[in-house]
Chain A
Amino acid sequence: MTTTTEVNHDDDHHDGEHHEHHIPYGIKRWLYTTNHKDIGTLYLWFAFIMFLTGGAMAMVIRAELFQPGLQIVEPHFFNQMTTVHGLIMVFGAVMPAFTGLANWLIPMMIGAPDMALPRMNNWSFWILPFAFSILLGSLFMEGGGPAFGWTFYAPLSTTYSGDGTALFVFAVHIMGASSIMGAINVIVTIFNMRAPGMTWMKMPLFVWTWLITAFLLIAVMPVLAGAVTMVLTDKFFGTSFFDAAGGGDPVMFQHIFWFFGHPEVYIMILPAFGIISQIIPTFARKRLFGYASMVYATASIALLSFIVWAHHMFTTGMPVAAELFFMFATMLISVPTGVKVFNWVATMWRGSMTFEVPMLFALAFIVLFTIGGLSGLMLAIVPVDFQYHDTYFVVAHFHYVLVTGAIFSIMAAVYYWLPKWTGKMFHIGLAKWHFWCSLVSVNVLFFPMHFVGLAGMPRRIPDYALQFADFNKWISIGGFAFGLSQLIFLVLLIKACKKQGEPVSAQVWEGAEGLEWEIPSPAPYHTFETPPVVK
């Protein structure tokens, strides 16, 4: 491991000599940039800011639920907090973070000089801040922001909502357009820009999982756009898609929404599978076990995601035959998911494991995501779902798969590739504090939710029966601790962006393999202008 080449690349702003065009300084650099690394950075910072914003709303929710009774906020504001927390975390934090990672990594992993459509790339990022300004702005409108849950079920969103719904609809349209553009860019890049010799089955799994995710995105984001459009016209223009009095059907809203919504949850977890499949082999110092089966498992999960949507609606009064179909189809998904978990464990089996910070997050991901998967399997069982539906058990389930799943994988990815991006090792002490504080607090936060859920505490309600008081106190304490732990991450990231820390080699991690580890650290502003040849 040598550190011979990185010195020249330390500060990209000033060494324009081997690039024909000049990089603008200051804000213009970021506004006009078409460079995949700059846009990746923008996406990641945006996602982190949104993560803290959505997290602050979660703190409001947990403060209100700290004890029974209403003490801090009004129920209507509480509803806005749960709604906007969900929307921000899904569309503002998790999805842009994955898109940011895709921007940074996919060109470097497949040996491409940039994304295929760099100008569209700039555009797809820069419409996001507008979308979220509109959404957050609606909170200050008369009547408040959206308060109908992130799932915006009709008639809550069509009949019983304020005028801010129009802002919500436009914000979702813009977010959707951004995701669709990002997805198109990823697909075109992967299809057309691979280096010579980078065949399909040589692509790193992160690239594979993102390719499949991108197809899911272009298939379902337009359906979401359709659903919000119908809500808009039902509310403001007198149509009755979801209004029974005019011949519509409110249950149809749920079908259309979840036809988008279920693939959406895989959009938020498939790239995570890719990240874990990159990290585990590095620190186990073994090749990934069952590469091909990983690819096929990802594709099967994506296909199955289109035929399970109604498991979100078991209590709407479906015929038994439909309930059975959706129950078994849902349970079927645990097979390819099980293949993945098995492959990760088999990769570690008899490996020379070390426990650097990215590996710690990856291991926590495997254990905690599997807990979330198991509670998901429980929810798939129809008679059981009748009891669990709309309780905190569901909240526990999807926070295990999204926080300790998707978000832990994003943190693992940031720790894994951050030294490659900055050229400096991050502050390991802070990183370990961040990991252990997050790990303990996230379980104090979400694990007791299983119990209060099983005991019947309903979700999305600002008050609860006295019997749930003790558990809720613990949950809130866990929540505050988890929130504070993320400030450690913030400090660490600021230090990393100031390029503090020990210089790292090109390979960074001893066991790391792949094209991105063959270019110097930090990654030069332009990479692979002449494509590498992959053997």
Chain B
Amino acid sequence: MSNKQVQTNNSKMVMKLVAIVFGMFGFGFALVPLYDVLCDLTGINGKTANTAAIYESVEIDESRLITVDFITRINTGMPWQFSAQTRRVKVHPGEMSQVDFLVKNPASTRIVGQAIPSVSPGPAAIYMNKTECFCFEQQTLQAGEEMLMPMRFYVDPQLPKDITYFTVQYTLYNVTSSAEPAEVIAMNRG
């Protein structure tokens, strides 16, 4: 094999390998939507849907009673007080129920908060259907303001038989600095 031939072979191969490198760099980023899709389908990361579910023609399964616990957490840098009015409910799958959450902004400034739900064990997450939730959008509280935030949900009757008990946790994040512009404008006006 001539020297030139070797050179051509080398550069062809380098091209292919560099293509693999760029492909894998892209794959690293592709893992982000792939992960989200996988979690949406299976709920394994405990996230519930962030849009409202529609409650119609749902059969109520009277044979089972599911215990649902509610816990609240405040993330670092969030001064709000945050608690669930009802800590535990027992519901039949398909039955609608409501839990209210109390938030208070004791700080002297307006703050925008975002609550993020997490269900444990994870597989129960996709059966936790919320028709109304404060976590669907950011919440704004003026200094010293207090608010009762409702959350209406039903447990999907398709819930696997081995799950009888799950916990829903809401964590409140302070998102004032990154709040959407419309929100900020509204805040400044208010």
B1-30 interface with A by 8 A CB criterion: 6, 9-10, 13-14, 17-18, 20-25, 27-29
Complex Cα–Cα for A247 and B21 (A): 28
One of A192, A225, A252, A318 near B10 (C-beta < 8 A):
A192
Chain B residues near A241 (CB-CB < 8 A):
32
Within 8 A of A (CB), among B28-61: 28-29, 31-32, 35, 39, 42, 44-47, 50
The stretch that binds B, out of A41-49, A215-223, A396-404, is A215-223
Query: Are A219 and B20 in contact, with the CB atoms below 8 A?
Result: yes
Does A251 lie at the interface of the complex (its beta carbon under 8 Å from any beta carbon of B)? yes
Task: Tell me which of B13, B28, B29, B35 contacts A192 (CB under 8 A).
Answer: B13
> B32 and A223: CB pair below 8 A?
no
A:158-209 near B, CB below 8 Å: 159, 180, 184, 187-188, 191-193
Residue A227 is within 8 A (CB to CB) of chain B in the complex: yes
Complex contact A259–B31 (CB within 8 A):
yes
Is B10 within 8 A of A319, CB to CB?
A: no
- Pick from A220, A238, A322: contact of B24, CB below 8 A: A220
In the complex, the chain B residue whose C-beta lies closest to that of A250 is B45
Question: Is B105 an interface residue, CB under 8 A from the partner?
Answer: no
Q: Chain A residues with Cβ under 8 A from B47's Cβ? A: 249
Q: Does B98 interact with chain A (Cβ within 8 Å)?
A: no
CA A159 – CA B17 in complex, angstroms? 35
CB pair B22–A222 under 8 Å, yes or no, is yes
Instruction: Please report the C-alpha to C-alpha distance between residue A123 and residue B116 in the assembled complex, in whole angstroms.
Output: 47
Name the interface residues of A241-300: CB closer than 8 Å to any CB of B: 241, 244-247, 249, 251-252, 255-256, 259-260
Instruction: Report the interface size class on chain B.
Output: 35 or more
Q: State whether A117 and B46 are in contact (beta carbons under 8 Å apart), knowing that A218-B20, A244-B171, A317-B120 are contacts in the complex.
A: no
* 1/0 contact string of A6-43 vs chain B (CB within 8 Å): 00000000000000000000000000000000000000
Instruction: Tell whether A317 pairs with B121 under 8 Å between CB atoms, given A192-B13, A218-B17.
Output: yes
Write the chain A residue with the least CB distance to B29.
A226
Q: Check B6 against A193 for contact (C-beta < 8 Å).
A: yes
B14 touches A117 (CB 8 A): yes
Is B86's CB within 8 Å of the partner chain A? no
Interface of B is mostly: helix
State how many angstroms separate the Cβ of B73 from the closest Cβ of chain A: 11
Cβ contacts under 8 Å, A109 to chain B: none
- CA gap between A227 and B50 in the complex, in Å: 26
B24 touches A219 (CB 8 A): yes
A242 CB to closest chain B CB (Å) equals 10
A379 interface residue per 8 A CB criterion? no
B75 on interface, CB distance cutoff 8 Å: yes
Q: Are B173 and A317 in contact, with the CB atoms below 8 A?
A: no
Q: Is the CB of B28 within 8 A of A223?
A: yes
Q: Does B175 contact A (CB under 8 A)?
A: yes
Say if the beta carbon of B93 comes within 8 Å of chain A.
no
Q: A245 and B13 in contact (CB under 8 A), knowing A218-B24, A226-B28, A252-B35?
A: no
Give complex CA distance A188, B12 in Å: 10
Question: Which residue of the partner chain B has the closest CB to A322?
Answer: B44
Q: How far is the CB of A183 from chain B (nearest CB, A)?
A: 8
Residue contact A192 to B32, C-beta cutoff 8 Å: no
In the complex, whether A116 has a CB less than 8 A from a CB of chain B is yes
Q: Are B21 and A180 in contact (CB under 8 A)?
A: yes
Report Cα–Cα, A238/B180, bound state, in Å.
13
CB within 8 Å of A: which B46-85 residues: 46-47, 50, 75-76
- Docked-complex contact A318 and B14, CB < 8 angstroms: no
Q: State which of A193, A220, A227, A249 has its C-beta within 8 Å of the C-beta of B45.
A: A249
CB A229 to nearest CB in B, in angstroms, measures: 8
State the 5 A-B residue pairs at the shortest beta-carbon distance, nearest first. A226-B28, A245-B173, A222-B25, A222-B24, A223-B28
Given contacts A192-B13, A227-B28, A251-B45, 19 further A-B contacts (CB under 8 A): A180-B21, A188-B17, A218-B20, A218-B21, A218-B24, A220-B24, A222-B24, A222-B25, A223-B24, A226-B28, A244-B171, A245-B173, A247-B50, A252-B45, A256-B32, A259-B31, A319-B42, A319-B122, A319-B123
